[in-house]
Amino acid sequence: MKLVPTILPKYQLVPDFSLTLLFDKFRFYRLLAGNPDRNNAEGIYIRLVYSDERQEYCLQAVNYYRKQIFPYHVNDYHPFYVYYDSNYNFIRLRYDSGHHYAKVLTETGTIILTLCFPWHGYKIGKRFLALPYKTSFLNLNDDTLRSWWLQAGKPQFKLRTKFVDPWHEGLAMQGAVKGNFRDEVHCPLCNAVELLDTMELEDTIFRVCLECQNGHRFTAIYDAMSMNIMSLKDH
């Protein structure tokens, strides 16, 4: 089988980088959330991506738990992306503030990032009652990403399009359509943006039937090989 690409061809993966990129800038805390279990492959997975066009790096980090307790589901993923200029100066942070909504921060000093129970979203600067977050930092390699995307059943990793493109414009949307890490699709009839949840997986094609906010039914298809997401009108 051909391997599913994990990044858009116009970006480069940076093979070696120092974790001081993170540790110089962030302090990690947790509020009622448990520490991840390294023996169960839980932890913060990271990789560094470079965009020639933008002259920016993006450190993609995703906190992985085997399960979330409420509402219960297996495989729980909460990303934060840290952007740097070509000299590794911090530019901005985009983080999952809960339910995969993307908030942005452009703070100059140290950032306190607190992982909160029960949905494992992040809050900034929240130290009250919080405990230091002890985690392993693991290499987010292609094999790991493919195993998350292509696992049997209904994969809970619904952050594919924004993973292959950490500069995806949907991450930065403001107003009524807030920035989001989730995959998104446009209704083929009215163009309304709908956010995707779990999708059925067949081979390397993800599929889900949806109804847009204006009551139009359609099918969203994500092809993990071409990395294209499309919407088809239902008959």
Between 178 and 216, CB nearer to Zn ion? 216
Smallest gap from residue 193 Cβ to Zn ion (A): 10
Q: Tell which positions 53-72 bind Zn ion, by CB under 5 A.
A: none
Between 40 and 214, CB nearer to Zn ion? 214
Give me the sign of the Cα torsion angle 62, 65, 66, 68.
negative
Smallest gap from residue 218 Cβ to Zn ion (A): 7
Between 59 and 185, CB nearer to Zn ion? 185
Exactly one of 18, 40, 110, 214 binds Zn ion (CB under 5 A); that residue is 214
How many Å apart are CA 69 and CA 198, to the nearest integer? 17
Between 139 and 191, CB nearer to Zn ion? 191
- Region binding Zn ion by CB under 5 A among candidate stretches 33-41, 63-71, 163-171, 206-214: 206-214
Closest residue to Zn ion using C-beta atoms: 187
Smallest gap from residue 217 Cβ to Zn ion (A): 9
Residue 85 pairs in a beta bridge with 56
Q: Is 16 exposed, middle or buried (0-12, 13-18, 19+ CB in 10 A)?
A: exposed
Q: Tell which positions 173-192 bind Zn ion, by CB under 5 A.
A: 187, 189-190, 192
What's the DSSP call for residue 103?
E
How many Å apart are CA 235 and CA 87, to the nearest integer? 52
Exactly one of 21, 98, 216, 223 binds Zn ion (CB under 5 A); that residue is 216
Q: Tell which positions 16-45 bind Zn ion, by CB under 5 A.
A: none
C-alpha closest to that of 59 among 105, 91, 33, 35: 91
Q: DSSP characters for 48-75? A: EEEETTTTEEEEEEEEEEEEETTTTEEE
Between 3 and 190, CB nearer to Zn ion? 190
Give the number of other CB atoms < 10 A from CB of residue 59: 24
Q: Does 212 bind Zn ion (CB under 5 A)?
A: yes
Q: DSSP characters for 118-129? A: TTTEEEES--TT
Smallest gap from residue 73 Cβ to Zn ion (A): 28
How would you list the strands of the sheet with 121-124, edge to edge? Answer: 121-124, 111-116, 26-31, 131-132
Q: Does 193 bind Zn ion (CB under 5 A)?
A: no
Between 112 and 189, CB nearer to Zn ion? 189
- Region binding Zn ion by CB under 5 A among candidate stretches 64-72, 118-126, 202-210, 215-223: 215-223
CB 109 within 8 A of CB 26: no
| Interacting residues toward Zn ion by CB under 5 A | 187, 189-190, 192, 212, 214, 216
